[in-house]
Chains A and B, each alone.
Chain A
Amino acid sequence: MTAIAFDHPDLATRLDGCSGDELDQLDFGVIGFGPDTEVHRYNTFESQAAGLSAQRVIGEPLFTNVAPCMNNFMVAQRFEDTLAEHGVLDETIDYVLTLRMRPVKVRLRLLASAASTTRYVLVQRQLR
Chain B
Amino acid sequence: MAELSAEYEALIQFLYLAPVGLVQLAADGEIALMNPISAQLLMPHSRNGGLDNLFVALEEVAPDLRGLCQRYEAGSGKICDGLHVHLNAGDGKRVPQILSLTLLKLDAHRIMAVINDITEQVRRECRQRQHDAWLNAVLTGITDYALASLDAQGRLCEWNPSIGRVTGFGPEAEGQPYTMFYPLDAITPEHALDRLREADADGWALDESRLLRLDGSAFWGSVMIAPLPEVERDTDGLACGDGAAYCLILRDVSDKRDIAERRRREAYSDHLTGLANRRALFEAAAQELERSRAAPRPTAMIVIDADHFKAVNDRYGHPGGDAVLQHLAAILRASVREVDVVARIGGEEFAVLLPSTDLSQALALAGSLCARVAQDATSFDGLAIACTISAGVAVAIDGAGGVDLLLRQADQALYTAKRNGRNRAESAHQEPDRAGARTQEDSNAA
Give the interface of A toward B (CB within 8 A).
50-53, 56, 65-74, 94-98, 100-103, 105
Contacts and interface: CB of A to CB of B under 8 A. Distances in A.
Contact of B36 (A53, A67, A74, A94): A67
A52 B34 contact: no
Contacts of B46: 96
Contacts of A69: 36-40, 43
B40 A72 contact: yes
Interface string B1-37: 0000000110011011101000000000001011111
A53 B33 contact: no
Contacts of B12: 50-52, 100-101
A68 B17 contact: yes
Interface stretch (B49-57, B243-251, B356-364): B49-57
Given A53-B9, A65-B17, 4 more contacts: A72-B43, A95-B39, A98-B35, A101-B33
B203 interface: no
A52 B9 contact: yes
A56 B43 contact: no
B404 to A, nearest CB: 13
A72 B44 CA distance: 8
B260 interface: no
A69 B77 CA distance: 28
A50 B15 CA distance: 12
Contacts of B41: 72
B49 A73 contact: no
B95 interface: yes
Give the residue among B17, B41, B51 with the most A Cβ atoms within 10 A. Answer: B51
| Main SS at interface, chain B | helix
Contact of B43 (A52, A95, A102): A95
B360 to A, nearest CB: 36
A68 B8 CA distance: 19
A42 to B, nearest CB: 13
Nearest to B50: A105
B39 A98 contact: yes
A99 to B, nearest CB: 10
Nearest to A100: B12
Contact of B15 (A73, A96, A97, A101): A101
Contacts of B9: 51-53, 56
Contacts of B33: 101-102
Given A100-B12, A101-B34, A103-B34, A68 B49 contact: no
B40 A103 contact: no
Contacts of A74: 43-44
A72 B21 CA distance: 14
23 contacts: A51-B8, A51-B9, A51-B12, A65-B17, A66-B16, A67-B36, A68-B16, A68-B19, A68-B37, A68-B40, A69-B39, A69-B43, A70-B40, A96-B49, A96-B50, A98-B35, A101-B12, A101-B33, A101-B34, A101-B35, A103-B51, A105-B49, A105-B50
A71 B31 CA distance: 21
A70 B9 CA distance: 20
Contacts of B38: 69, 98
Give the residue among A52, A67, A73, A101 with the most B Cβ atoms within 10 A. Answer: A101
A73 B40 CA distance: 9
Give the residue among A67, A74, A94, A103 with the most B Cβ atoms within 10 A. Answer: A103
Contacts of B19: 68
A71 B13 contact: no
Contact of B31 (A70, A73, A103): A103
A67 B17 CA distance: 8
A92 B12 CA distance: 27
Interface in B180-207: none
A52 B17 CA distance: 12
Please give me the 6 A-B residue pairs with the lowest Cβ-Cβ distance, nearest first. Answer: A69-B36, A94-B49, A69-B39, A96-B51, A101-B33, A68-B36
Contacts of A67: 36
Contacts of B13: 52, 56
